[in-house]
Amino acid sequence: MAFLLKKMIAFWLMPLSFSIALITIGLLLLWFTKRQTCGKILSSTGLFLLFIFSWNPISTELLRPIEQSSPAFNEQKKVDYIVVLGNQVDSDSSITLTNQLSSSARARILEGVRLAKLQPNSQLIVSGYAGNNSKSCAEIYAQVAVQLGIEANRIIELREPKDTSEEAVAVKAIAGDHAIALVTSASHMSRAFYYFENENIQTITAPTFYLAKKTHAINWKFNAEGLLKSERAIHEYIGQAWQRFTSH
């Protein structure tokens, strides 16, 4: 129940969902009621927010502090386990395995495989439940890892955890007091590290899938890329707030 509630709240507070809801309510008031001023305010506010959250200078500054809050993995450090957290998957058998993963999930497993090859004595833990799919994220991760050269006997699948807190508990049961490299999206790392730290797991961060990158030329465009960055930032702010609320 808590899992579904969290997902529902997050969905309606996302920039796109929230903006469209404001615009829709505003237009309904304009078309079907006499509350013209309220309708104009709501629809104009929704449109303004949609533009703001789609503007790259704003969205980059929203997301970048979150992505930069965790250090890159120190490749000189040795770990016993490399943990790749789950993400969205669409188990469509008509396309290749890597294309069944979201762009974020694809970046995570590629980074996990890269680190596993750098540390041949480690084991690779892959996580993620199936949801409404025929295959779990963990299962597809494992198949991709094998295709990329990781021996099957080095891979441990966690197919049951539905979110990061459950993943941390499951990893603790396997890793115990051993050191792990935690692989997840850079924007998600701060929140993920909190859960793993609470389980007293020796965790070294290994962030990947950076979206808010600094370039020499400022991107002044309004586009879907800007909106995606804003969505990621707001998602994490909501996630951190939920984390603090449920940890007390």
Q: Residue 1 pLDDT more than 60?
A: no
User: What would you report as the CA-atom Rg of the chain, rounded to the nearest whole angstrom?
Assistant: 20
The DSSP annotation for 91-154 comes to --TTS-TGGGB-HHHHHHHHHHHHHHHH-TTSEEEEE---TTSSS-HHHHHHHHHHHTT--GGG
Whether 105 and 185 have beta carbons less than 8 Å apart is answered as no
Condensed to tens digits (0 to 9), the pLDDT of residues 48-70 reads: 999 999 999 999 999 999 999 99
Give the span between the Cα atoms of 127 and 152, in whole angstroms.
Answer: 15
CA atoms within 13 A on the CB side of 193: 18
pTM here is 0.89
Q: Residue 4 pLDDT more than 80?
A: no
pLDDT bucket at 10, cuts 50 / 70 / 90: low
Tokens of 40: 């104009």
Region of poorest pLDDT, from 125-129, 181-185, 244-248: 244-248
Q: Indicate the residue type of 48.
A: F
Give the span between the Cα atoms of 83 and 123, in whole angstroms.
Answer: 9
- All residues at 6 or more sequence positions from 77 whose CB lies less than 8 Å from its CB, including other chains: 179, 204
Give the span between the Cα atoms of 13 and 20, in whole angstroms.
Answer: 11
Residue 13: predicted pLDDT: 76
Condensed to tens digits (0 to 9), the pLDDT of residues 210-236 reads: 999 887 667 788 999 999 999 999 999
Condensed to tens digits (0 to 9), the pLDDT of residues 156-182 reads: 999 999 999 999 999 999 999 999 999
Give the span between the Cα atoms of 137 and 159, in whole angstroms.
Answer: 7
pLDDT bucket at 7, cuts 50 / 70 / 90: low
pLDDT bucket at 92, cuts 50 / 70 / 90: confident
pLDDT bucket at 2, cuts 50 / 70 / 90: low
Give the span between the Cα atoms of 203 and 81, in whole angstroms.
Answer: 10
Condensed to tens digits (0 to 9), the pLDDT of residues 121-150 reads: 999 999 999 988 889 999 999 999 999 999
> Is residue 79 exposed (0-12), middle (13-18) or buried (19+ Cβ within 10 Å)?
buried
